[in-house]
């Protein structure tokens, strides 16, 4: 009986991992809009189904170029020093965010 305990534990771990992967794919929902906030005030709401390119004027005189393309949104360029917002890449799922701390700007995908 003791020989099989390790095998049973590994099998249970594999089943839990597979269930988590399956549920993770089912739970994530694509969003319909992107809300852009500067200093916690909504400055623009973008429809992700319409390809758009806009300029967002953040705090500290930092300008971001935001692109909506293929039902996703991303920051093409920013004048901030670290470029974390640019390196974040595309987001399209509900509750995903892009944050530019120096510009105090948040882009969040939401449902309608």
Architecture of domain 33-110: Sandwich (2.60)
First-to-last alpha carbon distance for the chain, in angstroms, is: 55
pLDDT one-digit tens code per residue, 29-78 = 777 899 999 999 999 999 999 999 999 999 999 999 999 998 999 999 99
- Strand order through the sheet with 41-47: 41-47, 33-38, 105-110, 97-100
Percent of the chain with pLDDT over 90: 68
d(C-alpha 12, C-alpha 25), whole Å? 20
Give the residue from 57, 92, 89 showing the smallest Cα distance to 75: 89
Q: Where are the domains of the chain?
A: 33-110
């Amino acid at each position: 009986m003791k020989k099989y305990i390790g095998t049973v534990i590994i099998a249970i771990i594999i089943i839990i991992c597979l269930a988590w992967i399956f549920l993770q794919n089912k739970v994530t929902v694509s969003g319909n809009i992107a809300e852009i906030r500067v200093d916690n005030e909504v400055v623009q709401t973008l429809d992700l189904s319409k390809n758009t390119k806009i300029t967002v004027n953040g705090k500290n005189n930092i300008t971001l170029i935001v692109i909506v393309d293929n039902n996703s949104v991303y920051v093409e360029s920013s004048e901030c020093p670290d470029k974390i917002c640019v390196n974040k890449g595309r987001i399209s799922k509900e509750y995903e965010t892009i944050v530019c701390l120096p510009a105090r700007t948040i882009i969040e995908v939401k449902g309608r």
